[in-house]
Amino acid sequence: MKEVKTPTSRSYQDYLISSLKDTEHAAAYIEVMLELEDGEEEPLPVELLRSALKDVMDARAQSDNLSEEAKGFYEKLDKILLETKGAEIYGLVELLNALGYRIAIAPK
C-alpha cells in the first residue's frame, strides 16, 4: 500500500501565500471573509478577516509588490479591527445584505 503524505500546516500556508500572488484569487479570498450567507446571523469572526488580510499582505510582499503606503494602511486597519472586532465593516456588510446588496472585491 502506498503511503500518502498529508500536507503540513506549513506547506498549506506556503501554498496559500503562493496562490494569493494572483490578484483575482486574493480578491476572492478577501471577499469570502466579508460575505454573509443567507440565514447567517453572525459574520465570520474578525480574526479570519485579519488573517486573510495578513496572508494577502504576505503574498504581495513576497512578490515585491507591496508599497509602504499599503503597509501603513494595513497596520492602521489591523489595529482598528483588533480594537472594534470589525464592528464597522461587518455593520456595513450587514446593512448592504439587508438592502439586497453585497460587497465585491475586485482587482483594479
**pLDDT (tens digit per residue) in 75-106:** 999 999 999 998 999 899 889 989 999 889 99
Hey, what's the torsion of the CAs at 91, 105, 51, 57, to 10 degrees? -130
Mean pLDDT calculated for residue range 3-15: 70
Host H or E run for residue 68: helix 68-84
pLDDT of 1 higher than 50: no
In angstroms and rounded to an integer, the radius of gyration of the C-alpha atoms of the chain is 16
34 burial class (0-12, 13-18, 19+ CB within 10 angstroms)? buried
Looking at every residue in the chain, the average pLDDT score rounds to: 86
What pLDDT score was predicted for residue 37? 61
Residue 89 cell numbers, joined: 465593516
∠ CA 61-92-47, rounded to 5°? 45
Q: State the pLDDT confidence band at 74, using cuts at 50, 70 and 90.
A: very high
Task: Check: pTM over 0.85? Answer yes or no.
Answer: no
